[in-house]
Chain A
Amino acid sequence: MPRTLDRTDLIDLALGAAFLGTGGGGDPYVGRLMVQQCLDEGLSVTLVDPDELDDDAFVIPTAMMGAPTVLVEKIPSGEEAIHSLHTLERHLGRKATATMPIEIGGINSTIPLVVGARLGLPVVDADGMGRAFPQLEMETFGVYGIPAAPLVVSNEYGESAIIRSDDNRTVEWLARGVTIRMGGCAYIAEYAMSGADVKRTAIPRTLSLAIRIGRCLREAKAEHRNPIAALLALLPETLYSYGRVIFTGKIVDLVRETRNGFSLGRMRIAGNDGHDGAMDIEIQNENLIARVDGRVRAIVPDLICVMDTETAEPIPTEQLRYGQRVTVVAVSVPAMMRTPEALAVFGPKAFGLDEPFTPIETLEPA
């Protein structure tokens, strides 16, 4: 059954998307307001389950590309991503029957909802990252054979560039150059694919998962239950079936720097409440790897979420601060994100880590 979203769903989605962003992906606030604006105008957002898509449906995903720090100052016109989608339709000679997120973590969970509401297109309840990642080629779409190109990147003038390359990394690199010329933040349509391809390559039901996560945290708080325990109890019903609190403690050290346009950082958490020693987490826009006294406790692409112990709010990396009491939750990602092909694109090695990927189920057995 297709489902339409209401105001509360959007608030829950923003919270759940921040959790799945594992520290990155940008604050969904501006995106949430843009979708809310659509609802206020009487438009609706319809989610469609990937299993209900026709095999010959034509899906064009849409997204924001660039710096979330620019987005909060240069608010979009709301038509940039629509323009990218239309340009790609013309280029391919085919009309989209749906749009879809490429990234469920952070602000990009909301951009396709605006496109869907404005164009009356359903939004496929799925995405290609299953979390947040810093680069466009880090998609299950690409891992399982869907080319990113042709990609269209547009600005608020409806000016656009079409980028073609057989190499998804080259597409990313060229599109990022155009994005900077467009003011550091632009809007894209790419990874056009059939309904059959969505079923084969997308991580299913991540939009509704984000809403469920947000709702679970919100309701547990309102009912004075432990939100993190409630969240861990919810996960086995989902494709992200295994979640553990891997550490609790206090941030005692925090180092940040920027290199090649990425926010790099490292935090140290001194343990408490039965957690001995100290946990070190390395950050590259998102949380990449967590170690305790040198031993790996969770590693990308599994989710490493740093949450405020008291409020159970996921903490974006730019809001981390000395002294925060945090609970670190690690969550298994769906099997299709852990295959050798997937790990080659967004596993530890893709981020320059020497450690091999080890599932959280092995690192933290029940």
Chain B
Amino acid sequence: MRIGIDVGGTNTDAVLMDGMAVRGGCKSPTTADVSGGITAVLSDVLSRTKASMTDIEAVMIGTTHFTNAVVERKRLLEVAAVRLGLPATKGLPPMVDWPEDLATTLGRHTFMVRGGHEFDGREIAPLDETELLRIAGEIRARGLRTVAITSVFSPVTNVMEERAAEILRNEVPGLLVSLSNEIGRVGFLERENATIMNACLADLSAKVVTSFRQALRDLGITAPFFVSQNDGTLMTPEHVERYPVLTFASGPTNSMRGAAMLAGTKEAMVVDIGGTTSDVGMLMHGFPRESAISVDIGGVRTNFRMPDVLAVGLGGGSLVRDDGRRIGPDSVGYEITNKALVFGGDVLTTTDIVVAAGLEDIGDRSRVRHVPAATISAALDTMHRMVDETVDRMKTSADPLPVILVGGGSILVSRDLPCASKVIRPENASVANAIGAAIAQVGGEIDRVFSLEGTSRDAVLDGAKREASERARAAGADPATIGIVDIEEVPLSYLPGNATRIRVKAVGDLAVR
């Protein structure tokens, strides 16, 4: 059996899973030390399900802890940001376009060194090792404990980042090193930003991983534990300690994957309707489709592998106007319990509409008796049309897909949707995040520019698939279960030899014991 835990800003949730069956789920407030909340919720779920410690094969944890630390600018280390790319890249120094307060918190210790590669693997310049030795002295003198190293086109070849790491580690014993090729893809500033953010979390990641370990030990759980990353796959505790930034935005991914498991499908659209918005994401082979657009975290531009989620201003608290023809995007939000008509307020919301239509029995029904039938009917039409259009917009083909409805606002959808093959409302949806963590798999990815000249596309793709599978195996996947889940080819304009950027992702089940 497996345990899935979701450590959120407010609540820590836990589920016990037996294969794909949910044996039980609990919630408990998140505590400042993290481990307290985990211990509490785990004790609860174990006593309710009467499971024995020895039945537990693995524990999977999802957390927003690291994202929150950056957003709140708390518990962050000062970072040496080392860039390999001179004489190129000088035009925009590291941390350009960062919010001033975050850059100041991290100390703006930026260094630029000769090095880096071209798109085809040639060197821009040989690595300037003498300059790195000087920088090592600066790092010691300034008392910095963590370094972010980013080299131009390191997703094509990582040799310079590795060599620079070796030099700095030799010179500064105990230095914590983050390498950009382990974190991001092509897109220099975004990858460098993510690497610097990773480096500033080095202390916190060690503490959080220790407290996870402590909480499990206190309960006598000896099974290995893993942490979920933003693409819905797992990392070992050792990897999380080094690359905490990869947990950013794992929440939406876990929630979507959890919903899919509950609904029993791998190809679907997940619609999470909250109080203010509906967030729609697409699952392909059980994984969220990833966004191609840059994502801001704490005001910093990154290119993380984030689920592509489209939000539309429709939730349980959305305002209804124009006799039901216009809804949202504004919402009464958390004030729904005193502003909506059925709760004694004076604002006509979507929740009032479903009560007036007799579809739900919430609050005081008599307070919506005056709403005209034409308004109710128009508002229901508008709400369904909004969901249907958003789902349709996220689809990658015209074929109908099942739609999984989760979230407190899912009561708004009572009819079939024209774009959906069926509408599924799973049980246990409130702990979908923890379930998503529990069922996470192990992945490997490559993302690189290939020249298709003098070789065949198939040969290049086969090589890329092999490499991605090998990475999944190295990360702990059971080789017998590894499969390719995503292939993306983007031809690059103006370059010779039909240069093509190829991204391949492989995943497999965690090899337990």
Contacts and interface: CB of A to CB of B under 8 A. Distances in A.
Contacts, number: 125
Contacts of A261: 493-496
Nearest to B192: A75
Task: Give the contact-size bracket for chain B.
Answer: 35 or more
Contacts of B217: none
B124 A183 contact: yes
B266 interface: no
Contacts of B499: 184
A37 B124 contact: no
B395 interface: yes
Contact of A34 (B91, B490, B494, B500): B91
A72 B186 contact: yes
Nearest to A179: B494
B393 A37 contact: no
Nearest to B188: A73
Contacts of A285: 493
A318 to B, nearest CB: 7
Contact of B119 (A73, A78, A114): A73
Interface string A62-83: 0000111110111111110000
A319 interface: yes
B491 interface: yes
A9 interface: no
A212 B418 CA distance: 41
B96 interface: yes
Nearest to A66: B494
A322 B393 CA distance: 7
Nearest to B91: A78
Contacts of A66: 494
Contacts of B85: 74-75
A69 B496 CA distance: 13
Interface string B55-86: 00000000000000000000000000000011
Given A73-B188, A322-B397, A37 B498 contact: no
Contacts of A67: 119, 492-495
A95 interface: no
B494 A75 contact: no
Contacts of A262: 493-494
Contacts of B498: 258
Contacts of A70: 119, 492, 495
Interface in A31-45: 33-34, 36-37
B396 A323 contact: yes
Nearest to A284: B493
Contacts of A73: 119, 152-153, 186-188
Give me the 8 closest cross-chain CB pairs, A-B, nearest first: A78-B91, A258-B491, A156-B88, A183-B118, A75-B89, A77-B90, A67-B494, A263-B493
25 contacts: A34-B92, A36-B97, A37-B92, A69-B493, A74-B89, A74-B116, A74-B152, A74-B188, A75-B85, A75-B88, A75-B92, A78-B92, A114-B91, A156-B87, A156-B88, A157-B87, A176-B494, A184-B494, A258-B493, A258-B500, A261-B496, A322-B396, A322-B397, A324-B393, A325-B393
